[in-house]
Chain A
Amino acid sequence: MRYLPKSPAERQEMLAAIGVKSVEELFTSIPEQYRLKQPLNLPGPLSEAEVIDYFQARAAENSVGYSSFLGAGVYSHLRSVVTDALLQRGEFLTSYTPYQAEIAQGTLQAIFEFQTLMCQLTGQDVANASMYDGSTATTEAVLMAERVTGRSRVLVARSVHPEYRDVLRTYAKNSGLTVEEIPFTASGTVDAAALKGSLRDDVCAVVVQSPNFFGAIESPGPLAEVAHSAGALLVVAVTEALSLAVVKPPAEADIVALEGQSFGLPPSYGGPFVGVVASREKFVRQMPGRLAGQTTDQAGHRGFVLTLATREQHIRREKATSNICTNQALCALAATIHLCLLGKEGIREMAEQNLAKARFALAELEKIPGVKRTFAAPFFNEFTVEFPRSVKMVNTELLKKKIVGPYVLGSAYAELTKHALVCVTETTTRAQIDNLAAGLRSALEQTL
């Protein structure tokens, strides 16, 4: 087998050195009745070309050739080939967690640069080296707020991504947290009055998302004041991190839970992505996840180490701030490289293209009879529109034209049956927007 670096002769040599005649003798500590007598019933073995063929065949059964207007927490953005060229260097791809700092300075310095970029984007003092994704980062942020305040009630806006709320509920059930939802207003943002009404001194966290699931940009400043007046922390979740290139960082938040998938990570049918928890310096010892810190070596050279490790499971065990061990290091590296490539000007330009294309698309769609913008709140690259007939039906028609239509909001919000969440990024061409408009127009004309 091509991955095994032993010749039959070498195997024999080694077995002889061990003092056994056959490799079976090395498994005698497994009771005989449990040792398999037959090979496993698995497909293969396949040659490299056959492996590639298998996956090519699967790729052809997916959505190649379709344009898409889906966002809803996962975004199609440009990625440079430079990112993969660097990411696939063996020293990055095949290296271990940097516990042995002397021979992992590459990883550690890259993490330090990642943490810096995340602090800049979120307006916070400290950012960790990654969590699994935005949904678990949001949950970890809430658990962190619980540790900091000692309270156990959580108020989460309904305009937070439905899957993020699902994950939070799964974790909350078993940690004694009660989770209540706060409605959104007709303008698409969180209902601050309802929030005030629900706030008491037993709330550890108020959780909002910005831009929220409907694409609407929230105002963390006033929300932070409301939360703080009851001694609660404000957690802001960000699913479309590119928005932070033009939208004000949520510096008033106490904890930011960010999804970094927009930065150099393809949609990849749901993962791997990269979550980040960023917060104030005063909360650093309550933060989950790894942290890379700057220090000096014996000779006074600057270097980096994993630090504040006593928070983590391998030392603190039951009392750890999180059970996380493996994180999303390579994805964080991809995001770091991507952001360095984009740079200050590139990321702003990309964000501005998103703003422009989304507004163009909205204007084109609003020209279609019966199509209305739903929420007045400002948006970045996603917006909600209402159709005169079911979005599901419309999407079925659009599929025939090789268009993957917008997200069906009715599947997560029972009251939004005819509403669609449209996402337009810098990768969406004018022609694709025009086709969407034409396809939508014809799909709607069919019922009339």
Chain B
Amino acid sequence: MSYPTQFRYTKDHEWIDAKGDLATIGITDYAQHELGDVVFVELPAVGAALTTGKTFGSVESVKAVSEIYAPANGRVVEANSDLQNKPETINSDPHGTGWLIKIKLSDPGELNPLMDAMAYEAYIEEKKKEASA
């Protein structure tokens, strides 16, 4: 799967897609692949505050739980309620309908230091090499 060029990426394998001060956040294809079949997602309520670097929810597979870390400061305006009944969407379409939350960014500039698609792809190549070493 290719990594959308308009997204920004974190070291914890989240993607963020900003349009002005509105951003959508999800986990990357690499993350869903590592996790395996998603069975449950825990998301914050609308209105909850996000603090950069702090966890705002989790994604669970049968054998593991992945915390999700806020890539930027903001406030939740929408959580993907479809994931309640169909958490597998994260596996099948992690960059699209498997989005987790939409937030209002405190400062869109905070996204600048995040990796772009090329940097992220290089990053996960490194990770794959480390794992098979």
Contact = CB atoms under 8 A, between A and B. Distances in A.
B63 interface: yes
A309 interface: yes
A310 interface: yes
Given A285-B40, A309-B62, A315-B65, 11 more contacts: A309-B63, A310-B40, A310-B60, A310-B61, A310-B62, A310-B63, A310-B64, A310-B65, A315-B64, A316-B65, A319-B65
Contacts of A309: 62-63
Interface in A279-320: 285, 309-310, 315-316, 319
Interface string B45-85: 00000000000000011111100000000000000000000
Interface of A: 285, 309-310, 315-316, 319
Contacts of A310: 40, 60-65
B41 to A, nearest CB: 11
Nearest to B60: A310
A143 to B, nearest CB: 19
Contacts of B40: 285, 310
Interface of B: 40, 60-65
A115 to B, nearest CB: 19
Contacts of B61: 310
Contacts, number: 15
Nearest to A316: B65
A285 B84 CA distance: 14
15 contacts: A285-B40, A309-B62, A309-B63, A310-B40, A310-B60, A310-B61, A310-B62, A310-B63, A310-B64, A310-B65, A315-B63, A315-B64, A315-B65, A316-B65, A319-B65
A319 B42 CA distance: 14
A309 B60 CA distance: 10
Contacts of A285: 40
Nearest to B67: A319
B69 to A, nearest CB: 15
A319 B62 CA distance: 16
Nearest to A285: B40
A1 B64 CA distance: 44
A285 B87 CA distance: 15
A319 B60 CA distance: 13
Nearest to B64: A315
A288 to B, nearest CB: 16
Q: Which of A285, A310, A316 has the most CB of B within 10 A?
A: A310
A285 B64 CA distance: 14
Contacts of B63: 309-310, 315
Contacts of B65: 310, 315-316, 319
B66 to A, nearest CB: 10
A315 B64 CA distance: 6
A285 B40 CA distance: 10
Nearest to A305: B62
Contacts of A316: 65
Contacts of B60: 310
A310 B36 CA distance: 13
Contacts of A315: 63-65
A33 to B, nearest CB: 40
A310 B65 CA distance: 7
A319 B67 CA distance: 11
A433 B60 CA distance: 58
B15 to A, nearest CB: 23
Contacts of A319: 65
A310 B35 CA distance: 12
A126 to B, nearest CB: 15
Q: Which of B40, B60, B61, B64 has the most CB of A within 10 A?
A: B60
A430 B128 CA distance: 76
A95 B132 CA distance: 36
B86 to A, nearest CB: 17
A285 B41 CA distance: 11
Nearest to A319: B65
A439 B65 CA distance: 63
